[in-house]
Amino acid sequence: MKKLLAASLLMLPLMSGAQNYQLVWEDQFDEPALNETFWTIQVNGDGGGNNELQYYRRENISIENHPTENVSCLVLNAKRENYLNKTCTSGRVVTQNKVSCRYGKIEARIHLPHTANGLWPAFWMMGEDIATVGWPQCGETDILEMGHASGITNGTQDRLFNGACHWGPSWQNHPMYAKETTWPTSIQEGFHLFTLVWTETAIKMYLDQDKNPNVAPYYEMAITNTATLNDPGHYFHKPFHILLNLAVGGNFPGIWDINKVTALDANGTAAKMYIDYVRIYQQGTVNEVLNVPGQSNAITPDAATSKKNVHLNPVIDHVMLDDFEQMDEVAIVSLKGEMVQKITPSTNRIDLTSLSAGLYLLRIAYKNHTNETHKLVKL
């Protein structure tokens, strides 16, 4: 059922205010094991730079049916157990060097564990260039973090969460903006949708936008200012990858002793973070970027306008080609890598009336053995 739904959603526009978004990538975790074409399972006990207590292991990542909903989920399992000088284990996955995007609507449907005192679940993004520029110069966007010490102090662990951004030229006293929200009811009972809307001007985050499309953002930050190196406009206009993890203890909850982590029992029963799906939507604008393995859709920012021999976007019923005599083949490919239409152009006009509305790639192979790829938006 999930796969059929995904195929139909790919061509359907989704409205968010006045913005028209289309599904361009998703993982619904309905295979027997995690798809490592998209994800890397991280294995380490380095504390995440925050003095966390867990050791991240492959064994703590699973695909399971949710106990009350008929959906297959990625599950991050946190357990109290001794392993390689750590007192607990857990799971963390990342799309680094696999799936990344610049701008769009990025969301995950998550059933959070009971954090009690000590669990720190997170859904977040980091700049794809972290390996070359380091942190925080790569930029960091925390769409969801839960388990902060202030919630423990106030007894609102199941309702208090935050969004945050980190950036700057160096880690010493780096700029950041974090905002806590205390929801009226627990968000640790059942699934909730966490959404990042990332445009050229702002970062906004929403809770349960599927249930209330007009809900106000719980976090909002402008990213246009570039006056100094400490301004966010230098750090949030490049591809970011996705991370999901379930940390235990550390600086965020203010707990560094496993005996004070009330969320994990001594018998090793797992605390589980269920992720139903992760999705990326985009509008088909020129400056959006989407990188997915096996798909030639890493479009440069000005690709749709800089090449003068193709006239788009968006299109309704046709594409016009200049210099079509120099083209060997024109192909239209879905964002899942499926061939939709292949043409050997004999005129300067390609008829698209039979093409469903959606976001595609237009690939041109020239007779001189060069190639081009354009983003194609069909209305």
> Residue 306: what pLDDT?
35
Residue matched to tokens 């989704």: 14
**Cα angle: 6, vertex 11, 17; to 5 degrees:** 100
Establish whether the linkage from the previous residue to 136 is cis, with ω within 30° of 0.
yes
Q: Which two tokens stand for residue 334?
A: 């879905």
Are residues 179 and 246 part of one domain?
A: yes
Are residues 329 and 283 part of one domain?
A: no
Are residues 350 and 210 part of one domain?
A: no
Give pLDDT tens digits along the chain (379 positions).
343 333 323 333 343 343 689 999 999 999 999 999 999 999 999 999 999 999 999 999 999 999 999 999 999 999 999 999 999 999 999 999 999 999 999 999 999 999 999 999 999 999 999 999 999 999 999 999 999 999 999 999 999 999 999 999 998 889 999 999 999 999 999 999 999 999 999 999 999 999 999 999 999 999 999 999 999 999 999 999 999 999 999 999 999 999 999 999 999 999 999 999 999 999 988 899 999 986 543 333 333 333 335 555 566 677 777 777 888 888 888 876 678 888 888 887 888 888 888 888 888 888 877 777 777 777 7
Q: Which residues contact 47 (CB under 8 A, 6 or more apart)?
A: 53, 250
| Domains contained in the chain, number | 2
Instruction: Yes or no: say if 198 and 165 are a contact pair by the CB < 8 Å rule.
Output: no
Are residues 351 and 208 part of one domain?
A: no
CATH number at residue 146: 2.60.120.200
Instruction: Yes or no: say if 201 and 214 are a contact pair by the CB < 8 Å rule.
Output: no
> Residue 14: what pLDDT?
40
> Residue 42: what pLDDT?
98
Strands 271-282 and 371-378: unpaired
Are residues 235 and 157 part of one domain?
A: yes
Q: How far is CA 276 from CA 151, 173, 258, 308, 318, in A?
A: 26, 36, 29, 42, 38
| Distance between CA atoms of residues 38 and 98, nearest Å | 6
Domain membership of residue 357 (yes or no) is: yes
Are residues 272 and 182 part of one domain?
A: yes
Q: Return the sign of the alpha-carbon dihedral for residues 130, 134, 140, 145.
A: positive
Cα–Cα nearest to 144, from 243, 258, 6: 243
By CB atoms closer than 10 A (0-12, 13-18, 19+), residue 249 is buried
Can you give the residue range of the structural domain that contains 367? 318-378
Are residues 351 and 217 part of one domain?
A: no
Are residues 371 and 254 part of one domain?
A: no
Cα–Cα nearest to 250, from 48, 45, 43: 48
Q: Which two tokens stand for residue 361?
A: 């790639």
Which secondary-structure segment (H or E) carries 131? helix 130-133
Q: Return the sign of the alpha-carbon dihedral for residues 176, 209, 274, 271.
A: positive
Domain membership of residue 304 (yes or no) is: no
> Residue 13: what pLDDT?
39
Cα–Cα nearest to 82, from 54, 47, 121: 54
Establish whether the linkage from the previous residue to 113 is cis, with ω within 30° of 0.
no
Q: Return the sign of the alpha-carbon dihedral for residues 44, 48, 51, 57.
A: negative
Domain membership of residue 10 (yes or no) is: no
For the chain, the farthest-separated pair of C-alpha atoms sits apart, in whole angstroms, at: 74
Domain membership of residue 85 (yes or no) is: yes
Are residues 339 and 287 part of one domain?
A: no
Are residues 146 and 75 part of one domain?
A: yes
Domain membership of residue 16 (yes or no) is: no
